[in-house]
Amino acid sequence: MPTSQIAASAAGTWTLGDLTVNRLGFGSMRLTADPDRDRALAVLHRAVELGVNHLDTAAFYVSPGGILDGQPGPVRYATELIREALAPYPEGLVVTTKVGPGITEDGTFYQASTPDQLRRQVEENLRRLGRDRLDVVNLRIIKKAGEDSVAQRFEALARLQEEGLIRHLGLSNVRVDHLDEARAIAPVVCVQNSYALDKQDDADLLRECGARGVAFVPFFAIAGTRREAGAAAEHAPAVSQVARAHGVTEQQVRLAWTLHQGGHVLAIPGTGDPEHVADNVAAAALRLSAEELVQLGSA
Ligand SMILES: NC(=O)c1ccc[n+]([C@@H]2O[C@H](COP(=O)([O-])OP(=O)(O)OC[C@H]3O[C@@H](n4cnc5c(N)ncnc54)[C@H](OP(=O)(O)O)[C@@H]3O)[C@@H](O)[C@H]2O)c1
């Protein structure tokens, strides 16, 4: 089937609380890198046209121009691009955002630690996305030895959930003990950690999420250990071999591998390129054999 006809539903669905999403979604972090606003909007339109109904974002996904330089300019927030492209939001579209890290009006990054700061971040997301209630909010932490409990911050979000500002809660950059600590406070629908073919150190967490019926949503599935630096130009021989065998790209193999890690694993590939959106969605239809998975596991 031509890439452009493959829909995000090809890898099936998962349910976040009462919200059903296609397992192949979209991450919006890369949208603010390109000064071409129309191209960013086209990426979002293309993703939704292809059936993507799970978008990941954050209020601190901001273009490096404008406030980050302290200059007046075309400040672009991924959350506002999402609103401009997609509001009024189509039925069934789920937008997941994250709080914890934040960015002040003068462009300074900070980490929210108090209930007041978390409330302000939730309100900022509501305002920028133009929503009355956020579908899913992940508490994104920075792990620090000796200062490791998520309880106080998760309780603060659970109160905002009770107030009706948040539908479902998740966690990001956590360990299994954080997951269980949070689950004792309120239901957790997803965990978002870095995980990829070449970065499998959270294999236990992936498995434990599955055992608890919690979605595992890896970020950097394509970028892997290169993280913010993005997709690699060079690939492990096994990845290239599998890609050649299927007539697809290495990036598509990395996404397909991700989706083969369990029915509860959701992909949120990030791109600022409308062509790459279609390629990434097409990876939802790519089926890898048991032999190929073994081959890739040691890539
Ligand atoms: N919770 C957290 O702490 C956290 C941290 C980081 C990210 N995230 C979320 O996770 C999402 C995914 O992470 P990410 O966007 O950094 O990384 P990613 O999805 O692993 O990869 C993005 C990189 O791959 C390239 N790419 C994407 N599709 C491609 C294709 N089909 N062919 C070739 N190159 C391709 C992109 O460049 P092009 O733009 O040129 O396509 C970019 O360099 C983010 O967008 C964000 O929503 C969460």
Residue pLDDT tens, the chain, 299 long: 666 668 999 999 999 999 999 999 999 999 998 888 899 999 999 999 999 999 999 999 998 754 444 555 556 899 999 999 999 999 999 999 999 999 887 778 899 999 999 999 999 999 999 999 999 999 999 987 766 899 999 999 999 999 999 999 999 999 999 999 999 999 999 999 999 999 999 999 999 999 999 999 999 999 998 998 898 888 999 999 999 999 999 999 999 999 999 999 999 999 999 999 999 999 999 999 999 999 998 65
Give me ligand 1 centre to Cα 55, in Å.
12
- Per the annotation, the verdict on 61 as an active-site residue is yes
Answer whether 296's CB lies under 8 Å from 239's CB: yes
Q: What is the pLDDT of residue 93?
A: 98
Q: Which helix (H) or strand (E) holds 244?
A: helix 237-246
- Of all protein residues, the one whose alpha carbon is nearest to atom 45 of ligand 1 is 27
**Best residue for ligand 1 mutational test, from 6, 24, 29, 239 (most atoms within 8 Å of Cβ):** 29
Q: Could you give the CA distance from residue 219 to residue 196 in angstroms, rounded to a whole number?
A: 8
Domain range annotation of the chain: 19-297
Q: What is the pLDDT of residue 107?
A: 77
Answer whether 112's CB lies under 8 Å from 143's CB: no
Distances (CA, A) of 51 to 10, 19, 25, 197, 281: 9, 15, 9, 25, 8
Q: What is the pLDDT of residue 105?
A: 75
Q: Could you give the CA distance from residue 283 to residue 257 in angstroms, rounded to a whole number?
A: 9
Give me ligand 1 centre to Cα 231, in Å.
8
Answer whether 94's CB lies under 8 Å from 55's CB: yes
- Of all protein residues, the one whose alpha carbon is nearest to atom 6 of ligand 1 is 219
Q: Beta strand 101-103 with 109-111: parallel, antiparallel or unpaired?
A: antiparallel
Closest ligand 1 atom to Cα of 270: 15
- In words, the CATH class of domain 19-297 is alpha beta
Q: Could you give the CA distance from residue 118 to residue 164 in angstroms, rounded to a whole number?
A: 15
Q: Could you give the CA distance from residue 211 to residue 82 in angstroms, rounded to a whole number?
A: 33
Q: What is the pLDDT of residue 3?
A: 67
Question: Six-digit token pair at 172?
Answer: 């990001």
Give me ligand 1 centre to Cα 221, in Å.
7
The helix/strand/coil state of 141 is coil
